[in-house]
Amino acid sequence: MPPTMTPAAPAGRARIADAAAGPAAKFAFSGTAGLAALRGQEWVLSNGLGGFAMGTAAGVPTRRYHALLTASRRPPVARVSALNALVERAEVEGFGAVEFSSFEFNAGTPVVHPDGCSRLMTFECDESCRWRWADERAGIELSRELVMFRGVNAVGVRYTLRRSAISRGRAVRLTVRPLVSLRDFHSLIRRAWADSFLIRAGASGVEVAREGVRLSIELAAGAARFAEDAQWWYDFSYAQDADRGQDCVEDLFSPGAFEIELALGVGEAHADLVAWVDDPDSGHGGRPHHSIDEELAEQRRRGASLAAAVAAGCEPGDAGTLGVLARAADAFIVARTDAAGARSGVSTIAGYPWFSDWGRDAFVSLPGLLLSAGRHEEALRQLAAFARARRRGIIPNVFDDRTGEPEYNTVDASLWFVHAACAWLAMTDDCTAFDRELRDACADVVKWYKQGTDHNIAMDPIDRLIAAGTSATQLTWMDARRDGVTFTPRFGKAVEINALWYNALRSLAAAVAPDDAAEAANLNDLADAVRKSFVAAFWNERAGALHDCLVPDDNGKWTPDPTIRPNQIFAAGLPHCMLDARRRRAIIDTVKARLLTPMGVRTLDPADPRYRGRYRGTLFDRDAAYHQGTAWPWLLGPLAEAVLRDGEFGAAARREARQILGPVLRTLDPVDAQPREGTCPGQIAEVYDGDDVPDAPQRAGGCPAQAWSVAETLRVLAMISRPSSGRS
């Protein structure tokens, strides 16, 4: 369904929208950047179902998740890596083989082979990804363009093979060999236990099947054929998995190869390869119904429309960046299907490559990904889909990536849901739809949080604050747990949970006031009590900050945890604030002085002995650092919003907020594009190192493309550029 756009802007603002609606920003990298740099620079394309294509600019897979087609069998979950790679080589008469591909193999020590990377001239990425290789001695050049088809589990690859005067009188043959796995995308395979592929080959294509999943590959070219030649390729090694302490070696299967002849006297040849997953259990398989050219044209129209909607009403200088962010945001918005395979709503992929749709991430992200872009109908469908899945007042934390079953281990997802639902109402003023789809769910959250629900989530009847969890649970966004260790057991009364609780009460009171003044008064009375208790219990005058948690002791008393963490910023930045101006500004100053870094807000004060400044090592090491110093770009949004609200959206506040976002915004400028390890062009990574020094600057980590990193940057930049939009 196309997005619902905002009303047309006045003529002057329309010109801004027109500027944003131009061609997508093209991120271009030269092969002269070097193999190491280009192996660290990742890219991602998505299909609106949860499926995606992902890899490195160099073309060398470095994660188990790198594949040219990862299909979602039950959107947006049940994902399988289908077409892992394509091996391209040319045979030039009188010269020999010219390789265009490179992989890393485990041969005792990692070995990169073949040497195709040495011929890489350029890599470009916008709606598609494009590589260009050349061998001057052989007199040939190969270009490859990759595009994901939207709404279907399919990928298209366009080849252009050119010859120069050197090879004019020589026969040239291009061979394209697919490598496949048809495995769960979290897993790896080895021939020893996975040698069960079925092949059905034709003159111009092949079908490969394994465990009920069928991959079809066709190639259209003037002089092309498919030659069946089943092979196993052994010991692919994935460097990033190795760095994370994971299994990192697998074998891949090839059913044969496509051969394309470049006839004598012909300057260039073109070939379109299309691959798709045709799964009888999925309604999203089958060959695409239109061409690569038609798909690219449609994606350009879609991207321009989204960019124009976001830029409407904003300052001219922000139009280009907002356009980049609008296109980035679209990658995370996906269809959600029910158990029968029917589309049941809209959801948000939390991050590529490994996350599915998380409730917390979805509703933190919804105002930026959807509301800022005028995609109100999709926002309503997402809210309604999660509302239907609630249980005892709890919105699902996550849907299992294999089964799609909801899990409810969260205290904040429901409160973010209420925040997003009320923000949707404030922006659309559609009381009818709110009452029909969302009002009961919001009231249900408040009811269950007041009386008590799962995971010890309950309002304290004495101070009206929300408590949750135990020392063994991980219910807030700081939820890292590995090998039985909960690294930040923030149980009890967490500061951001109670800021969200207060905000939910005030927001819902405003939503119901037009037709239920009594209920609105009850909610506001409860909010008044929460505010009084919150300030008394959480304010730490000595530190000029808020305590992070109130932790219960064995005697039933609540002990404040004075750790300096970023969670307090929500109490200063949400639309309904419990703090006076002095305390709000003190929190902003404390967070800026002790936690702010160029690329994100640290999760722990560097002066704390538990602080870990580098996000490196095994999965255990990384999870131990995840919330103990690692910097998160998404937290820049709440901090900048607090600055805006503290300064009443004045010019000085807008300048200060823009400075907070500045370094992240510069990474979205294609003019400044440099290969950056752990990032995707036009996207924003999940986390960065907490430490940032000249000899060891911050390095990206986690997911190279993260929904709430993009969403919060987009939302707050729009708020800065269009200040009247943020006053509600």
Judged against a pLDDT cut of 90, whether residue 340 lies above it is answered with no
Give the whole-angstrom CA distance, residue 614 versus residue 693.
12
* pLDDT, tens digit, 9 for 90 and up, residues 123-167: 999 999 999 999 999 999 999 999 999 999 999 999 999 999 888
| pLDDT at 344 (0 to 100) | 74
Which of 259-268, 451-460, 656-665 is the least confident region? 259-268
Among 230-244, 296-310, 315-329, 472-486, name the one with the lowest average pLDDT. Answer: 472-486
- The side-by-side arrangement of strands in the sheet containing 205-210 is 27-30, 120-125, 129-135, 140-149, 154-163, 268-277, 213-221, 205-210, 198-201
First-to-last C-alpha distance (Å) of the chain: 28
Q: What is the pLDDT of residue 341?
A: 64
- Name the 3-class secondary structure at 247: coil
pLDDT at 63 over 80: yes
Look at phi and psi of residue 658 and say left if phi exceeds 0, alpha if psi is from -120 to 50, else beta.
alpha
Query: Helices marked H in 359-494 — which ranges?
Result: 359-366, 376-388, 413-428, 431-437, 439-451
For residue 472, the model assigns a pLDDT of 85
| 547-564: average pLDDT | 94
Per-residue confidence at 14, pLDDT binned at 50, 70, 90? very low
**Which of 73-82, 584-593, 666-675 comes out lowest in average pLDDT?**
666-675
Q: Is 541 helix (H, G, I), strand (E, B) or coil?
A: coil
Residue 425: predicted pLDDT: 98
**Residue 16 pLDDT:** 44
Q: In which band, very low, low, confident or very high, does the pLDDT at 500 lie, cut at 50, 70 and 90?
A: very high
Say whether pLDDT at 12 is over 70.
no
User: At 223, which amino acid appears?
Assistant: A
Predicted local confidence at residue 15, as pLDDT:
45
**Cα radius of gyration rounded to whole Å, the chain:** 26
* pLDDT of 280 strictly over 60: no
**pLDDT tens digits, one per residue of 679-727:** 999 999 999 999 999 999 999 999 999 999 999 999 999 999 986 665 5
What is the reported pLDDT for 4? 32
Residue 21 confidence class, pLDDT cut points 50, 70, 90: low
**Domains of the chain (ranges, CATH numbers):** 25-296 (2.70.98.40), 460-503+520-580 (no CATH), 595-728 (no CATH)
Q: Dump the DSSP string for 133-152.
A: EEETTTTEEEEEEEEEETTT
Query: Of 366, 363, 603, which is closest to residue 480 (Cα–Cα)?
Result: 603
Q: From 237, 153, 186, 123, select the one nearest 353 (Cα to Cα).
A: 186
DSSP, res 677: T
642 phi, psi to nearest 5 deg: -60, -40
What is the mean predicted confidence (pLDDT) over 312-333? 96
Enumerate residues 6+ apart whose C-beta is below 8 A from 473: 409, 455, 456, 486, 489, 491
Q: What is the pLDDT of residue 265?
A: 75
Residue 9 has pLDDT above 70, yes or no: no
Residue 3 has pLDDT above 70, yes or no: no
pLDDT higher than 60, residue 11: no
Q: Cα dihedral sign for 381, 321, 44, 407? A: negative
Q: Is the pLDDT of residue 481 over 80?
A: yes
Express each pLDDT in 362-394 by its tens digit: 999 999 999 999 999 999 999 999 999 999 999
